[in-house]
């Protein structure tokens, strides 16, 4: 029974990595098909970066998102790509939460112009961040032979978490 749970968990992680990669590719595509100045306006609305920083981010971030999405989809350099995705989503999410708490009525800039920051966009981006964190943790477990600090294996954690969910 433990083998099938681990196999299902592995399939879930694969689908999660592919979905996260697709989200990054889509976000890049939307930004690259529009003039970079539209994305720059969304970035500038956060009022965090100087003008030269806004321009730099608006011109380079979509290309970085595209490369990151492709790395996630292909499955190469998993540690690097999952850490980068987690860091990028962490920055995005914290900026969005900060703007929302300040009462700013601005576009999030996630998928181009026109999407205001709302509880729904925060839920979506928070979920993406949670998935990226899970993928990052898994990539380090896989590289370390499935062992955590203290000698516990990933398999025992999967079994424990499934018992918690099922109530056994």
The pLDDT tens digits for 116-158 are 898 999 999 999 999 999 999 998 886 555 555 445 555 555 5
What mean pLDDT value characterizes the chain?
84
**Quick one: 123 exposed, middle or buried, by C-beta within 10 A (0-12, 13-18, 19+)?**
exposed
- Alpha carbon 8 to chain centroid, angstroms: 22
Residues 102-113, mean pLDDT to the nearest whole number: 83
Residues 63-70, mean pLDDT to the nearest whole number: 96
Report d(CA 79, CA 135) in Å as an integer: 9
**Nearest alpha-carbon partner for 92 in 69, 116, 108:** 108
Q: What is the pLDDT of residue 158?
A: 53
């Amino acid at each position: 029974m433990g083998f099938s749970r681990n196999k299902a968990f592995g399939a879930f992680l694969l689908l999660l990595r592919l979905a996260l990669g697709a989200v990054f590719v889509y976000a890049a595509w939307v930004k690259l098909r529009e003039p970079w100045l539209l994305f720059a306006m969304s970035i500038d609305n956060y009022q965090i970066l100087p003008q030269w920083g806004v321009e730099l981010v608006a011109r380079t971030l979509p290309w970085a998102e595209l490369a990151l999405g492709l790395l996630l989809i292909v499955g190469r350099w998993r540690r690097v790509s999952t850490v980068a995705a987690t860091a990028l989503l962490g920055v995005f999410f914290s900026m969005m939460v900060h703007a929302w708490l300040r009462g700013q009525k601005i576009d999030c800039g996630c998928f181009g112009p026109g999407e205001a920051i709302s509880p729904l966009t925060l839920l979506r981006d928070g979920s993406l961040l949670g998935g990226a964190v899970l993928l990052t943790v898994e990539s380090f477990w896989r590289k370390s032979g499935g062992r955590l600090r203290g000698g516990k294996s990933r398999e025992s954690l999967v079994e424990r978490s499934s018992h918690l969910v099922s109530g056994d």
